[in-house]
Amino acid sequence: MSDFARTRKLALPAPVLAELRSRYSAFASDDTETRAAIAAVHKENSRIIDPHTAVGVAAAMKMAAIEKPLSPVVILSTAHPAKFPQAVREAIGTPPPEPKRLSGLKKLPERLEVLANDPALIKQFIFSRLTG
């Protein structure tokens, strides 16, 4: 670990790396693949998903291309598509419907507190808001 602290690189022994690669896979998707995943889910079942969820869907699609049969896959949605209207519009041609709760929040005044970069001050600020 002292080498890691100095170089910021971790070199795993070949047998360890081989074992990890036998158990785990990693995938990435660019903007085009992410929009394609949003479009595919929408076309297949009329659901609109957010870009974060779409990255998971794109990964599952890539897994399906190499793993036959595909093991069960669980994708946890992380955001509402209304947070990303432009990305959704680019994928399916229309922005996602905005939830009524979000519309109401947009009408509220914005509140902002600027704090110094002081952990004790930030901790005190948070706790003062929690105890009401």
90 located within any domain: yes
Q: What is the pLDDT of residue 132?
A: 58
pTM exceeds 0.85, yes or no: no
73 located within any domain: yes
Q: What is the pLDDT of residues 49-94, one digit of tens each?
A: 999 999 999 999 998 888 888 788 899 987 999 999 999 999 999 9
Q: How many CB atoms lie within 10 A of CB 112?
A: 4
Q: What is the pLDDT of residues 97-128, one digit of tens each?
A: 998 888 778 788 998 999 999 999 999 999 99
The 3-state DSSP class for residue 72 equals coil
84 located within any domain: yes
Do 12 and 19 contact (CB within 8 A), yes or no? no
Q: What is the pLDDT of residue 18?
A: 94
Q: What is the pLDDT of residue 62?
A: 93
25 located within any domain: yes
89 located within any domain: yes
Residue range of the domain that includes 34:
9-99
CATH number of the domain bearing residue 26: 3.40.50.1100
Q: Answer whether residue 13 shows pLDDT above 70.
A: yes
If residue 100 lies in a helix (H) or strand (E), which one and from where to where? Answer: helix 100-106
Which region holds residue 93: left if phi is over 0, alpha if psi is between -120 and 50, else beta?
Answer: left
| Torsional sign, CA 19, 25, 30, 31 | negative
Amino acid at position 101, single letter? R
Q: What is the pLDDT of residue 125?
A: 93
82 located within any domain: yes
Q: What is the pLDDT of residue 24?
A: 86
Widest CA span of the chain, in angstroms?
Answer: 58
Residue 95: band (very low, low, confident or very high) from pLDDT cuts 50, 70, 90 = very high
Spatial distance between the Cα atoms of 124 and 110, rounded to a whole number of angstroms: 22
31 located within any domain: yes
79 located within any domain: yes
* Domain total of the chain: 1
